Amino acid sequence: MKKLILGATVIMSAVACNNQNPLLSEWNTPYGIPDFGAVKEKHYIPAVEAGIAQQQAEIDAIIANTEEPTFENVVAAYEKSGAILDRVIGVLFNLSETDGTDSLQKIVEQILPMLSVHSDNISMNPDFFAKVEVLYNDMENLGLTQEQKMALKKLYNGFVSSGVALGEAEQARMREINMELSSLSNTFGNRLLAENNAFAEEFGVAISEYGGAMAATADRDLREKMFKAYASRGNNGNENDTKDLIMKMMTLRIEKANLLGYENPAQMILEDKMAGNPETVDTFLAGIIAPAVNKAKEEIVDMQEIMDADIAAGLLPEGTKIEPWDWAYYTEKVRMAKYALDEEQTKPYFQMENVRQGVFDLTTKLWGLQYEKLENIPTYHADVEGFKVMDADGSLIGVILTDYFPRSTKRGGAWMNNFVNQEIVDGVEIRPVIVNVGNFAKPVDGKPSLLTLDQVETLFHEYGHALHGLLSQCTYKSVAGTSVARDFVELPSQIMENWAFQPEVLATYARHYETGEIIPAELVAKVEAAGNFNQGFMTTELAAAAILDLKWHMLSVIPSAAEESFVESFEAAACAEMGLIDEIIPRYRTTYFAHIFSGGYSAGYYSYLWAEVLDKDAFELFMEKGIFDIETAMSFRRNVLEMGGSDEPMDLYRRFRGADPDPAALARARGL
């Protein structure tokens, strides 16, 4: 009772201060876009404190309810709880990744332990769990919709996986582990950002531009230096070295899995995913990397022939062989020789704004979506642009914000996130506010942002995630939008890539930034012909990273006497075991593998390849019916994009496809 009174006191105090803290009340802005200009750093900690108090009071009220447990007074009540925290987290953690100043990072460091304690207070509460368990055990007799069953199942599994059944001492240890893991993950992200910025300062090349720079740099010594600096991020023995963090995180993850009765973290993490267990994933990846490596060896032969010509011309010493820092450079030479395709030819046709409009127009053609540029809206940075998204009948779908240019306060890569989640609360539908983030070349010297072929795919990919969030038609936030199994979430994103270079789609957006000329048919033909070019390398580096991730999380013990050098020796052994050749390194080496040490993809990086089986199989139906076939498109929207996690992922896929996915679809698409 004392806790409840304290919570109520804090809430009343917070309500009284609404005018001073914009995070404590709903946004009075167009379409519910966060009022970024009004939010100051001083607002975050008080808002988190108030949000925790509010949600704890709401949980206490659920527990104190003397009525028989029902879906409405337990699960639905929980789904509606935590409005303030949702609002704060939606802003804070998005900004910490896109505009993470030193002062904001310090605030995050203060807040993470608070959130960890609060989360554990909920998920380890035996009284709350008792009500959920009653409903879960009687689920089939409650007359629930499938979405309600999934929300109940997710809540129940969350309790179990958090250790609600553990003894008091074990729960106390679990709380310590959770708090430390949260802090370590945040520190990993901060150190990697510092390493990325150091690389950019040294070479004048942003991390996002590394691939293009390696392909264009003729100076082999410089390429070697760039490669070694890139590949050693987090492994330089300086204050930003990440090996100590990795050792601590893996030790804690193993201990957490053991506490919950699992042999290793992968077993724990994969249990509720489509794959189900690490053995299935291991077999899946082994079937991909072997043919990919064989293909890569063929690609080396082609590159070596051109390198040998450079040797004969006196440009390189006798006996020079292809090394990892040569791959991008000689790949471009092979591409030019085989297909007369140079990315410097294509980039002028891929102005960022035109590519973005191209993906907008594609969604109009497939699903009738309409777009309106929003002016004078709150944004968190001058680079951010906003668009209102409407359905074919003019009804509001949501808002998409785009933030595509690099800066020193933004982490590398590209991603989608929610500022506002789609849900229905007390009969009121809340439409989402989504952000797509990238790190494309910024306009400079009057020249616009021009994208590489890979970056075009990235923009289409992230917009697929955005569609998953925007088109969601769920009631409960826990299963709405992208709140799905990790190995299903990449289906909507990856299927969008399939349209990017279709000639009919290119004709709508690929215009020369100076002349306005549509990309010539002969250049389109070259892009098509080179579609599976370099797939040995690309598949190998991706599969290698996925296997490396899995092997880390299949560990059942970190040797007690192991030093930080264990990180390097373990990676080397894993790469040797998978048959990785010396000329290729994993897409992400352990010390800068942000996906798995600060991005939520632990034991889940395989998801990209797993979902690619689905996306390639799904797009084959579009190819059969027509890539703009409305019936097929609407079926994908109804059964996948709108459904979030409101049903089992394979059931959703089968409803769209009418059959299980063909496992060979990935190999066909990649030319393996």
How far is Cα 384 from Cα 402, in angstroms, rounded to an integer? 6
> Quick check: is 462 catalytic?
yes
How far is Cα 520 from Cα 643, in angstroms, rounded to an integer? 39
Enter the tokens of residue 15: 């309500």
How far is Cα 227 from Cα 222, in angstroms, rounded to an integer? 8
The answer to whether 278 touches 554, Cβ cutoff 8 Å, is yes
The answer to whether 269 touches 603, Cβ cutoff 8 Å, is yes
Distances in Å between the alpha carbon of 68 and those of 77, 81, 153, 378, 635? 14, 20, 19, 45, 40
DSSP three-state, residue 390: strand
**Helix 83-98 and helix 102-123: axis angle, to 10°?**
140
Pairs from 138-143 (Cβ < 8 Å, separation ≥ 24): 142/70, 142/71
Distances in Å between the alpha carbon of 122 and those of 63, 156, 168, 175? 11, 12, 15, 12
Enter the tokens of residue 76: 């639905």
Residue 461 CB: number of other CB atoms within 10 A? 24
User: What is the per-residue DSSP string for 330-377?
Assistant: HHHHHHHHHH---HHHHGGG-BHHHHHHHHHHHHHHHH--EEEEE-S-
- Which amino acid would we find at residue 430? I
Q: Which residue has the tokens 């804690």?
A: 252
Residue ranges with strand state E in 278-394:
370-374, 385-390
DSSP three-state, residue 397: strand
The answer to whether 327 touches 584, Cβ cutoff 8 Å, is yes
Give the single-character DSSP code of 516. Answer: -
User: What is the per-residue DSSP string for 221-254?
Assistant: HHHHHHHHHHHTTT-SSSTT--HHHHHHHHHHHH
How far is Cα 506 from Cα 283, in angstroms, rounded to an integer? 37
Enter the tokens of residue 512: 């020369």
**Helix 352-367 and helix 453-470: axis angle, to 10°?**
40
The answer to whether 537 touches 327, Cβ cutoff 8 Å, is yes
- List the catalytic residue out of 462, 541, 583, 642: 462
DSSP three-state, residue 424: strand
How far is Cα 549 from Cα 597, in angstroms, rounded to an integer? 10
With CA atoms as reference, report the closest residue to 420 among 409, 428, 412, 411.
428
What residues act catalytically?
A: 462
